[in-house]
Structure 1
Amino acid sequence: MFRNSNQARGKGKAKAKGKGKSQFKSSTKRKQGHYTSNQEKFFSFLNMTDNSVDRTRRANFSNVPANGINRNLNILNIKPTTAKKIVIKNLKSEPKLPEDYREQTWDKLKSAVLAIQKSMPNQYSLEELYQAVENMCNHKMAQTLYSRLHSLTESHVSRNIEQFLAESMDRFLFLKKMNETWLAHCNQMIMIRSIFLYLDRTYVLQNPNISSIWDMGLELFSKYILLNTLVQTRVVEGLLMLIEKERQGDNVDRTLLKSLLRMLTDLQIYEQAFEQKFLQSTERLYAAEGQRLMQELEVPDYLAHVDKRIHEENERVLHYLDTGTKYQLIHTVEKQLLSEHVTNLLQKGLNGLLEEKRIPDLTLLYQLFNRVKNGLAELCLSFNAFIKKRGRTIVIDPEKDKTMVQELLDFKDAMDNIVISCFNRNEKFGNSLKEAFEHFVNQRTNKPAELIAKFVDLKLRKGNKETTEEELERLLDKIMVLFRFIHGKDVFEAFYKKDLAKRLLVGKSASVDAEKSMLSKLKQECGGGFTSKLEGMFKDMELSKDINVAFKQHLNTQHTRSLSPIDMTVNILTMGYWPTYVPMDVTLPDNMVKFHDIFKEFYLSKHSGRKLQWQPTLGHCVLKARFKTAPKELAVSLFQTLVILLFNKYDEVSYEYIKEATNIEDSELRRTLQSLACGKARVLNKIPKGREIEDNDKFRFNNEFSHNLFRIKINQIQMKETTEEQKATEERVFQDRQYQIDAAIVRVMKMRKTLSHNLLISELYLQLKFPVKPADLKKRIESLIDRDYMERDKDNPNQYNYVA
């Protein structure tokens, strides 16, 4: 094909020489007309498709020169055939455009732009206008075209400023007029750009220092409208006025706000012209509002107002403010309404919210304080202070001793619930809660430990039917939480041990499983050494059961005929495991003495070398009594039994006689008679009547006694703790502590040999597990010096030496 073209070109030249120039020109015009026709078809296609036209095809046609000849045959889809051959000849001169082509084309484009700016009908089609722009660009008139378009747009925008300079114009009307002008300008620039799109995509792209047609429109609008100081000020003040009205509760046109703020953003003056003033006005508004509402509103109402304000400001960002403003805006609201009033809010309302357990308000308080710096730290400190203050009122007041433990459990549950529900299970708040409880529980030395032990005793007694096994287990877990806060755990151990002994010996334990569960919890918390004696008590009870089975078999084989029908059960207690009981000799009936002697002989025959010591204070009996109304069974203590048995012989006996016949200690006898004659179940009548037992009182068996139950429990007095017992327990704890302090001092001195007083005290504080005062330690040191366990240094009296 290439060779044929050359041959055709050679033949064409030969013919031209023979026929002259006129033939060549005619051929050239015909070919020129052919190519021009195809180029016009392409422009028509481009106008109809606008942006959807294929860029590759446009690029290929962009190489078409001014004379309309394109030498790329493939673009025109012209294929050589054997019948015809195409001959291409060079022109000696290119055709010229009409002299008035530039002006005529610009007049056409100018009229179209003016029509758009004046919102009037356009007499030319967009296709024709687009074609005109492309033709001018292709004929190297792009720079002139851009310059004239710039001048025309600038002239139109500059005329618009006059309508905004009238001072009498209402602010809202001013904003609406500005918005209308802005929207009209945007629409105009969109339409103008669609006409001059070819200019925008060729000349503008090839010159980076020239703004696009859209940017040119924005720059001119900014220059003549908003960069005018008066106009810009009135726009910003109008916007601030609308936002302030909305903050006051009025309905405003959010669409207008959004459009104008978008205008400021598009013109790139949002931050400079509006944002700073907006944030300043916001700060002034909320600073004044915070001061005023702190005086007028209660804390829950104030918190609800702050939450509402933050929500409103977030809505403003969502609807019309620039997203970049959000952080500074919300920070300003939080600072003025929260940060500045953290201390006052906590002092004014936190205690009330915690006292009343206002879960929703406390949740909101936590969420809001979490938004400000150091808010949660301040809240945690105030929370801690409240717990210490409230807890101290529970612990210190002796009048609340009966309800102290239950109040502490309820208080702990309430505070735990607040930490979980309101404070998002925040670990710092949980630790602060524990520290506060540990602080105030130990404000009253020893008493909380004693009362917790007694509370456990109350819940583990057989008569406690208020709770199920599952509820009792949960309650024991809660009690163990309180137990962990106690420093003097040895006090708890002493009272728990004494009460456990009574429950086991008198048969008042609610459940062996519950007892062992509590023992397991104590062992897990304090170790095996803490519970070793308690475990020994349970072992003694189990061994005693086996011994009693063997003893009854022994009685059946040897002593059945000679003994009265008494069913006797004996508990063998290892002295080291059980509390120390004061020995007491009482006068027992002869048939009881016989049983004692038989059991003693039986036991010692099995376990030689051991010594048995009877403890009558722990004995209890079941008596069959015949009253006038009906026979009854009386569950009573051994002391009560001895008193009642006297009335088998006498109808009336005096106090002095009872004391002499039973040999019961005076204070114990008075308690016993009081329970029989002055309690709810009065099997004896006291003469004269009264609550107190006097030396000259007399007692008569109450034959008229009646009761709904067949078995009546009167031995509750055995479970009650006397003042003497309490003091004795406390004294035992004190003595045990003295021994532990002495052992600790000797242990430290034996290891260190020589030690100063201050260092010795510090070491003792680390080793001792119970609270102790420096004065008490000093007394024990002096005692050990007197007993020659240690001595003072002769050269330095403040230093001690160990004596080997």
Structure 2
Amino acid sequence: MESHSEHKNGMKKPPLGSGLKGSAGPKKLTIKNFKAKPRLPQDYEKIAWQKLEEAVSAIHRSSFIRYSLEELYKAVENLCSHKISQTLYDQLKVVCEKHVQRQLDLFSEDSDSEAFLVKLDKQWRDHCQQMVMIRCIFLVLDRTYVLQNSMIPSLWDLGLELFRMHVMSNGSVKDRCVNGLLDLIKRERNRDAVDRSLLRSLISMLSDLQMYHRTFEDKFLDETRKMYAAEGRDRVQEFDVPEYLHYVDRRLREEKERCITYLDQGTQKSLISCVERELISEHVATILQKGLHSLLEQNRLDELKLMYSLLMRVKLGPDSLCTQFNKYAKTIGSNIVCNSEKDSTMVQDLLDFKDKMDTITKSCFAQNQKFVDSLREAFETFINKRQNKPAELIAKYVDLRMRAGNKEASEVELDKILDKIMVVFRFIHGKDVFEAFYKKDLAKRLLVGKSASVDAEKSMLSKLKQECGAHFTGKLEGMFKDMEHSRELMVQYKQHLITQNQTSNIEMGVNILTMGYWPTYNPMDVHLPAEMVKLQEQFRKFYLGRHSGRKLTFQPTLGFCVLKSKFKLGSKELQVSLLQCLVLLLFNEGDSFIYEQIQKATGITNEELRRTLQSLACGKARVLTKIPKGKEINDGDTFTFNNDFKHKLVRIKINQIQMKETVEENTSTTERVFQDRQYQIDAAIVRIMKMRKSLSHTLLVSELFEQLKFPVKPPDMKKRIESLIEREYMERDKDNTNLYHYMA
């Protein structure tokens, strides 16, 4: 190397080693190659190989090696550096191959399967250890010659190839090995204790030798299939369904653990699939038919969850389970809805059944949307099997809850109950039936002040509005507005009486009901006392003075009173209906009257009077005595004031039988719903025809089905079409009787 630099004055320094005398620079060091390549001593290759061969033989015999590993390693390195690698590799292969061939003779003596496997495992482990030690000595050969020749296997791969070729390719050894392994696995499946480490080691050997899949796995899976096919057929008949489900679950867990413990991981998918096919897929129908109904009936959530998880593993399992789940829901639901003897508990039974099925869907079926939709379809189907009745009973159930809500539940609990009712309400097709009965019951609650909670009433109204729209709750909201206006009006009326100095011993309250909002009540002309008539006229004059052009009609059947009555044991306050009040006031004029006298004096209709007298003389609080005794009221019966009446309370509420629903009221409500439906059908037909001008019968019926919110039959539609044709709203085409034209 030469280095050049310049002085500041621009003169160059002489190069190093230039030979100039007096130079103070360092001397240049020159390194030269050997003149001749070093050669191995004579016979070195032969001597070295003898040492190496002796060492390899000692390793095979598991005996002492005379030479140090460093000396042997150096000999291999020297041979490789002098291009003798191929010869060395070939010589080593021959020595190892002869040793492996000799191992085959060791397996001919043993007849016991497990002893054979133990010996084979020992030979395999020894072979692996020997190859590791041999590779340590011949490491240079493995890292130079083998790496440079891709077609030549490494020393480790050479050891595997020799063992596979000379030991495991032998038919007898291979078959005994595979059959022995299968026998051990079979014993383990039968709960016998086996050496898992032996299984793991030999299966790992087959995998290392690349013999696992073609030699062992196919046969193992075939044996597994046969075993579980036979076992499944026996167990599904022998066990009940819960026991069989737990058996299948246990088998699946065992096989999964088996894959983790000693089988090749690639086998897991095929193995689990095989078990699922033989223990689940083949028996889906039997499992469902034999056990699903009882599991659902007994509400066995753990077993249902297990059934779901198992059936979800196989192709047809989810659909089959969903179908049977739907069938069960329809069967039980139909029994609840169609059993007229249990109408009194129908709604509560439906709510309980819905809660139960929702819990099962959520807890056991993972809220699977397919099952949720199936359950919804089932409820919608069976709840409408019995036309109108479920809607009526749901309305009555709401009435019951609204009357007793705060007594049986808190506001929060009542709201939760209403939410559950709304869930069932959504399934009803004839929501107008519910509206009619709900409106009738709401009117009673508002008029007699029996609603447990105004907030709960308005909450229910809000839920109905959200579900069905403002048109559905318009009249119901109007009823609440009437009650609020009435309260305000009564405050004004009392102020008016004070101003006019019109005082009375009787305090009267009036509710003004808008006719279109409230149910229709049949008027009844009764004979009111003069003071009551006077009070009515005073209020009529006050009201009509403020609202001209209106008609005011009093409804005595909706009124109620508080009477102060004197008995031998003290005074009581009787909370009664207006009709009951008229009957009791009659006894101020005498102690005893016959039925006909009472009817003539009060003017109450025959049917109403019988119910009224029944409540006064045959109920729990008997302020009248009936002769002859009995629950039925007949012509000629005599009624006497019961002066000996006693009760622990001062204010006593006497049952208002006239406010309870009668068969006639029920029929009347149903008929009103039917009539309203006729009007809605007529309006829908006219609306469609007015827009379309001309339409075929088929298309008209199709559009009606889409627009109408209640169930209707084609014959009913046809009758309404005929009626509109007669009233000249529409006409038939002269040439085509199935074509209609709108008549403006």
TM-score using structure 1 length: 0.87
Residue 454 of structure 2 is matched in structure 1 by: 512
Note the 1:247-326 alignment, pairs <5 A.
Answer: 247-326=189-268
Amino acid at match of 2:205: M
Residue 696 of structure 2 is matched in structure 1 by: 756
Note the 1:121-270 alignment, pairs <5 A.
Answer: 121-166=64-109, 169-270=111-212
Matched, 1:745 2:689: no
The 2-side partners of 1:684 and 1:230 are apart by 110
Note the 1:325-336 alignment, pairs <5 A.
Answer: 325-336=267-278
The 2-side partners of 1:329 and 1:210 are apart by 36
The 2-side partners of 1:365 and 1:801 are apart by 60
Partner deviation per Cα, 1:432-459 (whole Å, 9 max, x = no partner): 2212111111111111111111111111
Residue 621 of structure 1 is matched in structure 2 by: 561
Aligned CA distance change for structure 1 residues 196 and 664 (closer, same or farther; 3 Å): same
The 2-side partners of 1:404 and 1:162 are apart by 84
Residue 437 of structure 1 is matched in structure 2 by: 379
Residue 404 of structure 1 is matched in structure 2 by: 346
Q: CA deviation at 1:85?
A: 8.5
The 2-side partners of 1:241 and 1:257 are apart by 11
Q: CA deviation at 1:660?
A: 1.1
The 1-side partners of 2:522 and 2:265 are apart by 84
Matched, 1:425 2:367: yes
Aligned CA distance change for structure 1 residues 90 and 229 (closer, same or farther; 3 Å): closer
8 Å contact 2:73–2:138 — kept in the other structure?
A: yes
The 2-side partners of 1:179 and 1:652 are apart by 114
SS of residue matched to 2:574: strand
Matched, 1:679 2:606: no
Residue 415 of structure 2 is matched in structure 1 by: 473
Q: CA deviation at 1:264?
A: 0.4
Partner deviation per Cα, 1:589-626 (whole Å, 9 max, x = no partner): 11111111111122112222211111111000011112
8 Å contact 1:458–1:464 — kept in the other structure?
A: no
SS of residue matched to 1:800: strand
Aligned CA distance change for structure 1 residues 295 and 706 (closer, same or farther; 3 Å): same
SS of residue matched to 2:710: coil
| Higher Rg of the two aligned structures | 1
Amino acid at match of 1:413: D
Amino acid at match of 1:117: H
Matched, 1:574 2:517: no
SS of residue matched to 1:286: helix
8 Å contact 2:592–2:639 — kept in the other structure?
A: yes
The 1-side partners of 2:525 and 2:566 are apart by 29
8 Å contact 1:635–1:712 — kept in the other structure?
A: yes
Amino acid at match of 1:416: D
Task: Structure 2: give runs of 5+ residues left out of the alignment.
Answer: 4-16, 18-24
Partner of residue 498 from structure 1, selected from 440, 457, 460? 440
Matched, 1:365 2:307: yes
Q: CA deviation at 1:716?
A: 3.4
8 Å contact 2:583–2:598 — kept in the other structure?
A: yes
Q: CA deviation at 1:572?
A: 1.0
Note the 1:5-24 alignment, pairs <5 A.
Answer: none
Q: CA deviation at 1:559?
A: 5.3
The 2-side partners of 1:81 and 1:121 are apart by 57
Note the 1:657-736 alignment, pairs <5 A.
Answer: 657-736=597-676
SS of residue matched to 1:690: coil
SS of residue matched to 1:748: helix
8 Å contact 1:487–1:770 — kept in the other structure?
A: yes
8 Å contact 2:608–2:658 — kept in the other structure?
A: no
8 Å contact 2:682–2:724 — kept in the other structure?
A: yes
Q: CA deviation at 1:769?
A: 0.7
Q: CA deviation at 1:550?
A: 2.1
SS of residue matched to 1:531: helix
Matched, 1:447 2:416: no
Amino acid at match of 2:468: C
SS of residue matched to 1:461: helix
8 Å contact 1:490–1:770 — kept in the other structure?
A: yes
The 2-side partners of 1:630 and 1:402 are apart by 40
Amino acid at match of 2:89: Y
The 1-side partners of 2:406 and 2:666 are apart by 23
8 Å contact 1:462–1:511 — kept in the other structure?
A: no
Amino acid at match of 1:793: D
Q: CA deviation at 1:343?
A: 2.1
The 2-side partners of 1:333 and 1:185 are apart by 36
8 Å contact 2:563–2:573 — kept in the other structure?
A: yes
Amino acid at match of 2:250: K
Task: Structure 1: give runs of 5+ residues left out of the alignment.
Answer: 8-79
Amino acid at match of 1:439: T
Aligned CA distance change for structure 1 residues 95 and 506 (closer, same or farther; 3 Å): closer
Residue 776 of structure 1 is matched in structure 2 by: 716
8 Å contact 1:463–1:508 — kept in the other structure?
A: no
Deviates more, 1:431-440 or 1:748-757: 748-757
Residue 707 of structure 2 is matched in structure 1 by: 767
The 2-side partners of 1:477 and 1:2 are apart by 100
Q: CA deviation at 1:258?
A: 0.6
Aligned CA distance change for structure 1 residues 636 and 105 (closer, same or farther; 3 Å): same
SS of residue matched to 2:407: coil
Q: CA deviation at 1:81?
A: 8.9
Matched, 1:640 2:580: yes
SS of residue matched to 2:160: helix
SS of residue matched to 2:590: coil
SS of residue matched to 1:685: strand
The 2-side partners of 1:314 and 1:651 are apart by 92
Residue 112 of structure 1 is matched in structure 2 by: 55
The 2-side partners of 1:398 and 1:527 are apart by 31
Q: CA deviation at 1:339?
A: 1.5
Residue 743 of structure 2 is matched in structure 1 by: 803
Deviates more, 1:95-104 or 1:342-351: 95-104
SS of residue matched to 2:572: strand
Residue 597 of structure 1 is matched in structure 2 by: 537
Q: CA deviation at 1:335?
A: 1.1
The 1-side partners of 2:709 and 2:386 are apart by 16
Q: CA deviation at 1:215?
A: 0.7
Percent of counterpart pairs with the same letter? 63
The 2-side partners of 1:680 and 1:87 are apart by 132
Partner deviation per Cα, 1:84-118 (whole Å, 9 max, x = no partner): 98896975x76754443222221111111111111
Amino acid at match of 2:569: T
Aligned CA distance change for structure 1 residues 384 and 596 (closer, same or farther; 3 Å): same
Aligned CA distance change for structure 1 residues 257 and 344 (closer, same or farther; 3 Å): same
Amino acid at match of 1:674: Q
Aligned CA distance change for structure 1 residues 698 and 85 (closer, same or farther; 3 Å): closer
Partner of residue 103 from structure 1, selected from 46, 55, 58? 46
Give RMSD over aligned pairs: 2.1
8 Å contact 2:611–2:658 — kept in the other structure?
A: no
SS of residue matched to 2:395: helix
Aligned CA distance change for structure 1 residues 662 and 147 (closer, same or farther; 3 Å): same
Q: CA deviation at 1:275?
A: 0.6
Partner of residue 583 from structure 1, selected from 520, 523, 542? 523
8 Å contact 1:653–1:698 — kept in the other structure?
A: yes
The 2-side partners of 1:429 and 1:491 are apart by 30
8 Å contact 1:541–1:572 — kept in the other structure?
A: yes
Q: CA deviation at 1:304?
A: 1.1
Amino acid at match of 1:653: F
The 2-side partners of 1:746 and 1:176 are apart by 94
8 Å contact 2:405–2:414 — kept in the other structure?
A: no
Q: CA deviation at 1:340?
A: 1.6
